[in-house]
Amino acid sequence: MTLDLAIFTLEANAECIKASLAPVAQEQSRWKPDETQWSMLEVINHLYDEEHLDFRKRLKATLDDPTKPWEPIDPQVWVVERRYNDRELLSSVNNFLAERQISLEWLRSLNQPGSLNQPDLEIRASHLKNRSFKVKDLLASWLAHDLLHIRQLTRLKYQYLAKDYTIDYAGNW
């Protein structure tokens, strides 16, 4: 994992998320296959909170002091407490994209050739359940988190179609 690859991929993932949600109507964005699953609106607001309260913040904290404990977060609780599903889709997407841009600008500032700020991606920290990981592992997890939710958004769009149409001609999920 390099910082260049992380920056490129985070930018590409944001474009993919934006494009995936562009044709979605507000009603569809709130739809859930069942009460145990998230809606697309809940997914995008989760991504927004994770962008500014988890990955970027924790990466900064680890680079600053790998021994300092992270502030606790509870993304599962936030979905309900912060009423993600009551929000408006377009503003939610724009909020996420704005936070992603802040993350990209910060990462680019670390990646300047000859910069004294260039991070050591081998720094090791242990913050979660006595697990140890390197900064580059946290970067890779950030990318993987995007991909998990891109897959989730795709599945939700597929399930939304399947609720009203016979789509087996398309093939199996």
H or E, element range at 134: strand 131-134
* 3-class secondary-structure state, position 125: strand
Q: Which residues pair with 124 in a beta bridge?
A: 134
**What's the chain's average pLDDT?**
92
Residue 71's pLDDT is what? Answer: 86
Residue 77's pLDDT is what? Answer: 96
Contact (CB, 8 A) for 127 and 68: no
Residue 128 pLDDT level (bands cut at 50, 70, 90): low
Percent of the chain scoring above 70 in pLDDT:
94
- Short-list 99, 118, 100, 96, CA closest to 4: 118
List pLDDT tens digits, range 20-32: 999 999 999 999 9
List pLDDT tens digits, range 110-127: 987 766 667 888 888 866
Domains along the chain?
3-170 (1.20.120.450)
Q: Residue 96: CB partners within 8 Å, gap ≥ 6?
A: 14, 17, 44, 45, 47, 48, 51
What does pTM read for this prediction?
0.93
Q: Which residues pair with 128 in a beta bridge?
A: 131
Six-digit token string for 101: 């841009």
List pLDDT tens digits, range 56-95: 999 998 998 888 888 889 999 999 999 999 999 999 999 9
